Structure 1
Amino acid sequence: MSDLAPPFGVLLVNLGTPDSPTAPDVKKFLKQFLSDPRVVDLSPWIWKPILNGIILNTRPAKVAKLYQSIWWDEGSPLMVISQKQRDKLKTQLQQTLGQNIPVELGMSYGNPSLQSGLDSLKAQGAEKIFVLPLYAQYSCSTVAPVYDAIAELLKAERNIPELRFNKQYFDHPDYIKALAESVKNHWKAKGQAQVLLMSFHGVPLRYITEGDPYQAQCQATAELLAAELDLTQQQWRICFQSQFGKEQWIGPATDALLESLPTEGVKSVDIMCPAFSCDCLETLEEISQEGKEDFLSAGGERYEFIECLNDSAGHIDLLAKIVELQTQGWH
């Protein structure tokens, strides 16, 4: 490593987003996403005909309309926020470490690709790379694909970089603190509802029985956050969203819970998505829009969505601390 080379580089990784809210770009994105055996682990002989013959011919136009409903002037919300996270983390690391640490984005699916992120860090002289998937809770369907993909990409390299990989941060004190701060800020501005719902992305129950710790980590996050907010057991609920297919998923399902709460006398809810590091289709459309419609149609009276941590100061501080801890000995 030359004197001018950085001590290490950081690759921030998220799921990804279509390049535009159009059917062709959504189709391209969905094909890559749903072809990952970590995401859908059915036999290719069963799954590929379903994916190529049915899903990719029917879903893209519908999903494109959903993306259009949440798309910003600057682009995809996930991409815009991710770029802000990258830039702010770079600034924060420079301030705390006193060194210029390159930080790049790489998406599991879509652009910018993981390959482009690795190439950019390499071009900036980084011979040591810390990979930080932006998923607080580990799952075989989110974090593991990042590990798989990077290992596959490096097979083509003669001189691979030294790597460190962050698996999870579901119980990190600063993560819980940042979540609590976002809730408190919301309460200060909008008032507190009867119940705080913590909606995490769902996974098939089979993943859990086969060893995925995701559900337990979501439960731990929810309990830690409830304790930090000093909530009673009656003041919060955990639920899981985005279920599809006929297989049994972990529950309770967010949509079903929203429809049942008014019958239990719960007329006002605040809802947040702690597993998402930045707002995206699953939060801005599924939870903020569809969830509100489900709850109010079932007799609810007040529904407030609490945005994700995004590029908030507390979130960037958390990411910087994870980087500093996991790269000890490199700087």
Structure 2
Amino acid sequence: MLNMGGPSTVPETHDFLKSLFLDRDLMQLPFQSLLAPWIARRRSPMIEQQYEAIGGGSPILRWTEHQGAGMAALLDELHPTTAPHKAYIAFRYARPLTDECATRMRADGVKRAVAFTQYPQYSCSTTGSSLNELYRKGIDGTLSGIEWSVIDRWGTHPGFIEAVAQNVERALQKFNPSVRSDTVLLFSAHSLPMSVVNRGDPYVSEVAGTVQAVMQRLGYSNPWRLVWQSQVGPRPWMGPKTDAALKGLAKLGRKRVVLVPIAFTSDHIETLFELDHEYCAEARESLGMEVQRAESLNDSPVFIRALADMAAQHLKDYSAGKISPTSVQMGLRCPGCENATCGKQKAWFAKGGE
């Protein structure tokens, strides 16, 4: 189960940030080996305060463990020919890192594995970076001797869409029936720098596809927009910004909103602090808005079943020779890609990790 991860305790924040800013698959900075630790030291005090505000650390590991255990138990029933199944977590910037995941897999004698991204929509900056790290561990012998296949994106899977739609419906129930259908749905996703978008990264279009599928499931019951959060630094990022959209809606007299995290599979700092503590609080207190936030997927049984269904279908189709180790879409590099590792990684996984 591949994801960015987050510091489980406040003291882990600095190491998390340093690992993030050192990742050249995510960003390329001048003198990165020197600049990244400096940025991490500078930002750590502020980010530590944010993690304190949400309970003393990120809950993403706890929720991923819960989702993984539930998925594996269901998989034993759905696809018994490959049972028993076990979920391993490989976070990119926080424990358990890929090295720790690899150690556990070796100790268990794993010979067959599915790299299952927990980012519903593909980006070279997220899923791509995690797959690059797995590839590096494969060719250096750390994860040798394992047959790999990949579930690289699933932003329109019916079970995922149903889980999100149910959470939106629960949030809408908190509004008076007389104004419920007029409430605006703001689907918020982590933004991307325009430099990444412009080189052909598919993330923006895939997030839009998810939003369209959710609205279709909801019967297009409400007006909606896709907005973007978590921009960092002075460079242009994909917009509009979530907080700017809230302010704009307030000026237009549209003061009832449901914020929907659409690119996250569990609560973490972007939902619990940025959406809840910053955007929702400001909208209510300063803009006079009535704002609800749709719950994250966390322990949703519908979502956990969706994960198991995806994995079971993948295993069935792969065993029957109906699919290759990687999807057709994963094999296509961004038109503006300049990362040689990306191409090598795709070729390695396409051969099952050989």
Determine if the TM-score, normalized by the shorter chain, exceeds 0.5.
yes
Question: 1:298 & 1:189 partners in 2: Cα distance?
Answer: 21
Residues 190-205 of structure 1 aligned to structure 2 (within 5 Å): 192=180, 194-205=183-194
Aligned-residue identity in percent: 26
Whether 1:241 and 2:229 are equivalent positions in the alignment is yes
- Structure 1 residues 237-260: Cα deviation after superposition (integer angstroms, max 9, x where no partner): 110000111111111111111111
Residues 216-235 of structure 1 aligned to structure 2 (within 5 Å): 216-231=205-220, 235=223
Match for residue 85 of structure 1 among 67, 73, 77: 67
Give the direction of change, closer, same or farther, for the CA distance of 1:201–1:230 in structure 2 (3 Å limit): same
Give the direction of change, closer, same or farther, for the CA distance of 1:50–1:124 in structure 2 (3 Å limit): closer
**Contact 1:102 1:124 (C-alpha < 8 Å) held by counterparts:** no
**Contact 1:132 1:166 (C-alpha < 8 Å) held by counterparts:** yes
> How far is 1:51 from its partner?
2.9
SS of the counterpart of 2:257? strand
SS of the counterpart of 1:104? coil
The amino acid across from 1:276 in the alignment is F
Match for residue 211 of structure 1 among 200, 204, 209: 200
Q: Which residue is 1:127 aligned to?
A: 111
The amino acid across from 1:122 in the alignment is R
**Contact 1:197 1:269 (C-alpha < 8 Å) held by counterparts:** yes
Question: 2:277 & 2:119 partners in 1: Cα distance?
Answer: 23
Question: 2:220 & 2:148 partners in 1: Cα distance?
Answer: 40
Question: 1:94 & 1:330 partners in 2: Cα distance?
Answer: 16
Match for residue 166 of structure 1 among 142, 151, 154: 151
The amino acid across from 1:220 in the alignment is G
Aligned residues between the structures: 312
The amino acid across from 1:238 in the alignment is L
Whether 1:310 and 2:273 are equivalent positions in the alignment is no
Question: 1:189 & 1:246 partners in 2: Cα distance?
Answer: 38
> How far is 1:298 from its partner?
4.5
**Contact 2:171 2:293 (C-alpha < 8 Å) held by counterparts:** no
- Structure 1 residues 89-115: Cα deviation after superposition (integer angstroms, max 9, x where no partner): 121112222331111111111111122
**Contact 1:77 1:279 (C-alpha < 8 Å) held by counterparts:** yes
TM-score (norm 1): 0.88
Whether 1:27 and 2:11 are equivalent positions in the alignment is no
- Structure 1 residues 132-157: Cα deviation after superposition (integer angstroms, max 9, x where no partner): 11001101110001111001111222
Residues 223-302 of structure 1 aligned to structure 2 (within 5 Å): 223-231=212-220, 235-302=223-290
The amino acid across from 2:208 in the alignment is Q
> How far is 1:190 from its partner?
5.4
**Contact 1:14 1:134 (C-alpha < 8 Å) held by counterparts:** yes
Question: 2:109 & 2:37 partners in 1: Cα distance?
Answer: 41
Q: Which residue is 2:330 aligned to?
A: none
Question: 2:58 & 2:202 partners in 1: Cα distance?
Answer: 30
Q: Which residue is 2:134 aligned to?
A: 150
Q: What do you get for the CA RMSD once the two structures are aligned?
A: 1.9
SS of the counterpart of 2:99? helix
SS of the counterpart of 1:28? helix
Question: 1:200 & 1:21 partners in 2: Cα distance?
Answer: 24
**Contact 2:3 2:127 (C-alpha < 8 Å) held by counterparts:** no
Q: Which residue is 1:3 aligned to?
A: none
Q: Which residue is 2:166 aligned to?
A: 181
Question: 1:41 & 1:165 partners in 2: Cα distance?
Answer: 26
The amino acid across from 1:41 in the alignment is Q
Q: 5+ unaligned residues in a row in structure 1: which ranges?
A: 1-11
Whether 1:14 and 2:3 are equivalent positions in the alignment is yes
Q: Which residue is 1:94 aligned to?
A: 76
> How far is 1:49 from its partner?
4.4
**Contact 2:171 2:292 (C-alpha < 8 Å) held by counterparts:** no
TM-score (norm 2): 0.83
Give the direction of change, closer, same or farther, for the CA distance of 1:297–1:50 in structure 2 (3 Å limit): farther
The amino acid across from 2:36 in the alignment is L
